[in-house]
């Protein structure tokens, strides 16, 4: 019996959809190591859920983003995070929020969010922002100068930055597509890891004198 082509196409489409739906869930933390003995398992990928009947308005509420964060630090910026740790009701919803304050000439240094795309809107000041694409895209820089009301998107996993190029403070808000986006600040991670990465490795990777690397590791030591 000859099978109609329409039935073949429907079957193939169903298989494609089933494979897509069978993919692993996205990680909500740096890692979640499997354990054989359930009695010793205390973590899940994300957060445990309370009984929905016990939920209350406070589980979905946070107050304080009207307050500027202190920028008295080496990068002259501050990120106030509102994720699942601040709003338990964000659990499983795949979204979070940050407020970023920048002193004049302050910056949110090059970093990446391993679990989220970021969309940023500038409220006050002037920012120079950008991200760098992957090796496969030849590490192209995508950058713009933002003024109040401007919006810029940083794709998931891309190294990105923001710099206040104005003489007055700047304020931005950003949404992230994860309840716990994570952040890897490049300089802190590479030069401030625990234990430190062998200076000879970093000297070769960055084409620097090993003594320069040792000095950088001393500055970024946790």
The DSSP result for 79-107, as a single string, is EEEESTTT-GGGTTT--EEEEEEE-TT-E
pLDDT, position 12: 55
Q: pLDDT in tens for each of the 222 residues of the chain?
A: 555 655 555 555 555 554 555 555 688 778 777 676 666 666 777 888 888 888 899 999 999 999 999 999 999 999 999 999 999 999 988 999 999 999 999 999 999 999 999 999 999 999 999 999 999 999 999 999 999 999 999 999 999 999 999 999 999 999 999 999 999 999 999 999 999 999 999 999 999 999 999 999 999 986
Residue 215 is assigned to a structural domain of this protein: no
Q: Tell the burial category of 191 from Cβ atoms under 10 Å away from its Cβ (0-12, 13-18, 19+).
A: buried
Query: pLDDT per residue over 111-128, tens digit each?
Result: 999 999 999 999 999 999
Q: What is the pLDDT of residue 61?
A: 96
- Residue 55 domain flag: no
CA distance 5 to 9: 6
- C-alpha pair distances (Å), 2 with each of 6, 8, 11, 142, 210: 12, 11, 15, 54, 71
Q: Could you tell me if residue 8 is inside a domain? A: no
On whether 113 is known to bind a ligand per the annotation, the reply is: yes
H helices within 110-198, ranges in order? Answer: 186-191
Sheet hosting strand 118-124, strand order edge to edge: 77-82, 96-102, 170-176, 118-124, 151-154
In a domain, 93, yes or no: yes
Would residue 171 count as lying in a domain? yes
Give the domain extent around 119: 69-182
Q: Is residue 90 part of a domain?
A: yes
160 assigned binding-site residue: yes
**Does 45 fall in a domain?**
no
Strand partners, 99: 80, 173
Tokens 């590479």: give the residue: 190
Structure tokens at 164: 């206040």
- CATH number for the domain including 145? 2.60.120.10
Does 193 map to a domain?
no
> How many domains are contained in the chain?
1
Give the separation between CA 156 and CA 117, rounded to whole angstroms: 4
pLDDT for the residue numbered 86: 95
């Amino acid at each position: 019996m000859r099978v109609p082509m329409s039935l073949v196409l429907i079957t193939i489409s169903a298989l494609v959809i089933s494979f897509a739906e069978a993919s692993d869930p996205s990680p909500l933390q740096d890692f979640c190591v499997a354990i054989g003995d359930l009695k010793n398992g205390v973590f899940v990928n994300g957060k445990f859920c309370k009984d929905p009947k016990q939920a209350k308005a406070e589980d979905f509420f946070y107050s304080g983003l009207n307050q500027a964060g202190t920028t008295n630090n080496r990068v002259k910026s501050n990120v106030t995070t509102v994720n699942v740790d601040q709003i338990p009701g964000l659990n499983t919803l795949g979204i979070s929020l940050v407020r970023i304050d920048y002193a004049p000439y302050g910056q949110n240094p090059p970093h990446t969010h391993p679990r989220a795309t970021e969309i940023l809107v500038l409220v006050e000041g002037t920012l120079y922002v950008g991200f760098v694409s992957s090796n496969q895209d030849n590490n192209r820089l995508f950058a713009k100068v933002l003024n109040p009301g401007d919006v810029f998107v940083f794709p998931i996993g891309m190294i990105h930055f923001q710099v206040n190029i104005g003489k007055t403070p700047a304020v931005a808000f950003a949404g992230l597509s994860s309840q716990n986006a994570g952040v890897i600040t490049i300089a802190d991670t590479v030069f401030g890891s625990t234990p430190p990465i062998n200076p000879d490795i970093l000297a070769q990777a960055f084409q620097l004198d090993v003594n320069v690397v040792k000095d950088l590791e001393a500055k970024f030591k946790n």
